[in-house]
Amino acid sequence: MSATANLPLRCWAEIDLAALERNLKGIRAALPDQIRYVAVVKADAYGHGLHQIAARLMIAGADLFAVANLAEAASLREVGPDSPILVLSPILPQEDRHIAGLDVAVTISSAEEVTRFAAVAQASGRPLDVHLKIDTGMGRLGAWHEGAEAVYQLINDAPGLRLAGVFTHFSSPDEDPAFTALQRRRFLLALDRCRGLDPASLLVHADNSAGIETLEIGGPFNAVRVGLLQFGIRPRPGTLLEAVHAEPVFSFRTRVGLVKNLPRGTGVSYGCTHTLARDSRVAILAAGYGDGIPRAASNRAQVLLRGKRCPVLGRITMDQTIVDVTDLPGVVAGDEAVLVGRQQDAEIGIAEFSRWGDTIPWETLCSVTKRVPRLYRTQLGL
């Protein structure tokens, strides 16, 4: 047992695995039966912890797991020796010789990768599954949609490569439906130009969480790639996304370390960027940017104490955050403070918390640091 095992927590994240499972089932129920569920668990499952999240998603019935790179694939293999895995990011040439041993499907964007992966398949003596990625306007990964059929042909002609999927990625599904629709059209036209491609025999996928809102039922799409939504966070308003009733999986909590009175006129925290307008009572929380509270949220964020919202005063520092509790009698050292999540009847959502920090929920989740233990709530006792 580690030396810190018995110490009370100063700042922690609570991860609700039962909510995660309900979310997956709710998303599935909102989609037609033939749609496969690709669980996106890159970046340590969006900071929630890859092993615990993937294990629960396996029980809940995810069809395929998507990770960013081979290191994440290797970690996932520890919990899912037989789980299908797709690696989304480009494989580095230096990594080629590790692909076969991990038994993963890889993403192809270029003719050069076809050549390299054909060599990988040949060296291992086993076929290698690949997903062809088509760039329909994001300008990042994928073969440009005009001419992507050439890469498709090369894959078809390469001994040892098995085309298991074709996909694209939307650049702005949460804010630009017209561009998303254009990307969808480009993708479908590119598929049409791939002679001999049978969508029914592959995974055809485009939609991330926000895309799902405009998924075309009846088209060739037969899989979705779900990241944020399975963690209970809606990337945009929308009727389908609303119908899923996804519940937050993550909450972020700390405790009051000190309560004290300060006279009016005092400048608070580094740089004294906030001057107290009245005689005040402040609570110093035991967490700061060293735990993942964005420094950009200085002077802007709110936290929940005793079920009430309290404003952050001055700069967020590495280990402490100062909160005004003048109007909230009874706060004492040791009280729980909620940064993201519910307390009594009050709630701070991750979208609101992220806006205070000039960021987005995806980055907020990835920014919770190693200092913060993740506590898993589960009804299955995993």
Ligand X SMILES: *Cc1c(COP(=O)(O)O)cnc(C)c1O
Comparison of 52 and 208: residue with beta carbon closer to ligand X: 208
C-beta of 6: minimal distance to ligand X in Å? Answer: 36
Distance from C-alpha of 70 to C-alpha of 93, rounded to nearest angstrom: 12
Whole-angstrom distance, CA of residue 175 vs CA of residue 376: 33
Which amino acid does the sequence have at 239? Answer: T
Strands (E), 123-249: 128-135, 143-144, 161-167, 203-207, 223-226
On whether the CB atoms of residues 289 and 318 are closer than 8 A, the answer is yes
Minimum CB distance to ligand X smaller for 141 or for 285: 141
* 3-class state of residue 256 by DSSP: strand
CB 193 within 8 A of CB 219: no
83: its two tokens: 């789980």
In whole angstroms, the minimum distance from the beta carbon of 68 to ligand X comes to: 7
Residue 69's CB is within 10 A of a number of other CB atoms, namely: 16
C-beta nearest to ligand X: residue? 227
Q: Which is nearer to ligand X, 118 or 190 (CB)?
A: 190
Q: Active-site positions?
A: 42, 270
**Among residues 86 and 256, whose Cβ is nearest to ligand X?**
86
Q: How far is the CB of 209 from ligand X (least distance, A)?
A: 3
| Residue 179 Cβ vs ligand X, minimum distance, rounded to whole Å | 16
Of the candidates 319, 321, 287, the one whose C-alpha atom is nearest the C-alpha of residue 311 is 321
The helix (H) or strand (E) run that includes residue 343 is strand 336-343
Give the separation between CA 102 and CA 97, rounded to whole angstroms.
Answer: 10
Q: Based on CB atoms, which residue is closest to ligand X, 89 or 153?
A: 89
Q: Which amino acid is at 89?
A: S
d(CA 340, CA 350) in angstroms, rounded, equals 6
* Closer to ligand X by Cβ: residue 90 or 160: 90
Contact footprint for ligand X (CB under 6 A): 40, 42, 88, 169, 208-210, 225-229, 235
Token pair of 234 as six digits = 């809606």
Q: Rounded to the nearest whole angstrom, what is the least distance from the CB of residue 312 to ligand X in the complex?
A: 27
Q: CA quadruple 184, 359, 109, 99: dihedral positive or negative?
A: negative
For strands 346-348 and 336-343, give the pairing: antiparallel
The nearest distance, CB 1 to ligand X, in angstroms, is: 36
